[in-house]
Amino acid sequence: MRYSPQSEEPVKPGKETIDRAKNAWLELQWQGVTLDVLYLNWGLSRFWILADTQEIARAFFVAVCKWNTELRGEVLVFNGGWYKDENLFQDIKGATFDNLILRGNLKQEIRDDLVQFFGSRALYDEYGIPWKRGILFIGPPGNGKTHAVKALINSMEQPCLYIKSLHGVQQVFDRARRTSPCILVIEDLDSQLHPQNRSAFLNELDGFAANIGIVTLATTNHPERLDAGILNRPSRFDRKYHFELPDVPERSSYLALWNASLKPALQLSSEGISKISELTTDFSFAYLKELFLSSMMQWIARPGQSTMEQVMMDKVATLREQMVSVYTLDEGETDSEQTRPIRRFRGPPMR
């Protein structure tokens, strides 16, 4: 037994301690028969199943393996190896299209694209079109790419494989083919690809294997770092959606969404939302969120000295200075590396 230390996540009742066996002889009842499982650990873990017949032992082993692959309020994540992530599942469940704000009809286009794809296998088969899809979300950090990914997973109700590392590309796609139909999510594709795994990734993406029913959904903050073989070849990512910095209408909608969740004493007036929307040119959604959070903390520290609207309008200038600093740093990196074009101000990732 060991104690589960305190963390940022609240500990569920009954989860304060964790029971683990290092060496054990377990007697189990399964489907009306008694089995023994011997577990020994001397640096490497080994299991032995003891049963009346080999058939019973093998059937029990298959049942355990099948149970272990099932997801129960979890997301299957690959980071050099597979594991189940309950916290990511809960995070995804909190992301919906209702609380996602994007330019124009972008949100509807993305959702309709996936709904149509998953509902059209028979049509694809009838016309001999490979039933697979590659989608790439492109844009600077903090403008809703990750939120859109999570909202899609939440709304499509299809199995999802979340890839945090492409060290083991073949394992990733082998599992996706066994799980199909599914959504294979690869965030920050530009940072995960390197000369050692690039060829393997391209071969798995559109090589000899059919990848039937797999939607490969990738995001990138830096499309300029992806070579043309990935970015421009239609058979790899045939849908590309651009997530730009929000304009006044999107900023106003985002501010209104946040404002509605605040206590009355902290809420902005309609005029205040309009003013701040105009003042926050080049703010990403992530910076707008930071504007709210930092202003709330300042107001709470000195309640009554000024209105939330006044605090936020003053805070805009402070955050813009931070944006200029980030912009200057990016410009310096571009000059030294000669790989990145100068972009507009950007905010921190909105995760």
**Residue positions counted in the chain:** 351
Mean pLDDT of the region 276-287:
94
DSSP bridge partners of 29: 34
* AA identity, residue 77: V
pLDDT at 235 over 90: no
Query: pLDDT tens digit string along 86-96?
Result: 999 999 998 99
CA distance 71 to 159: 9
pLDDT averaged over every residue in the chain: 85
pLDDT at 350 over 80: no
DSSP reduced 3-state for 272 = helix
Mean pLDDT of the region 158-164:
93
What pLDDT does residue 124 have? Answer: 93
Query: pLDDT tens digit string along 288-306?
Result: 999 999 999 999 888 777 8
> Distance from CA of residue 55 to its chain's centroid?
42
Helix (H) or strand (E) holding 128: none
pLDDT at 7 over 90: no
Mean pLDDT of the region 263-272:
91
pLDDT at 4 over 90: no
What's phi and psi for 14, nearest 5 deg? 85, -5
* AA identity, residue 33: V
pLDDT at 343 over 70: no
Mean pLDDT of the region 35-39:
93
- Answer yes or no: CATH 3.40.50.300 is held by domain 89-242: yes
CA distance 24 to 341: 59
What pairing do the DSSP bridges indicate for beta strands 33-41 and 24-30?
antiparallel
Decide if 304 contacts 275 (C-beta within 8 A).
Answer: no
* AA identity, residue 152: L
Model confidence at 17, pLDDT cuts 50, 70, 90, reads confident
What pLDDT does residue 6 have? Answer: 46
Burial of 169 (0-12, 13-18, 19+ CB in 10 A): buried
Q: Pick the more confident residue, 337 or 294.
A: 294
pLDDT at 146 over 70: yes
pLDDT at 66 over 50: yes
DSSP reduced 3-state for 85 = strand
The structure tokens 């000295």 sit at 305
Q: With CA atoms as reference, report the closest residue to 183 among 219, 223, 234.
A: 219
What pLDDT does residue 111 have? Answer: 94
**CA angle, residues 241, 243, 246, in degrees to nearest 5:** 145
Decide if 218 contacts 137 (C-beta within 8 A).
Answer: yes
Q: Pick the more confident residue, 181 or 70.
A: 181
Helical segments of 280-307, H only: 285-301
Q: What is the pTM of this model?
A: 0.79
| 98: its two tokens | 């209702």
DSSP reduced 3-state for 25 = strand
Model confidence at 330, pLDDT cuts 50, 70, 90, reads low
What pLDDT does residue 334 have? Answer: 44
Model confidence at 228, pLDDT cuts 50, 70, 90, reads confident
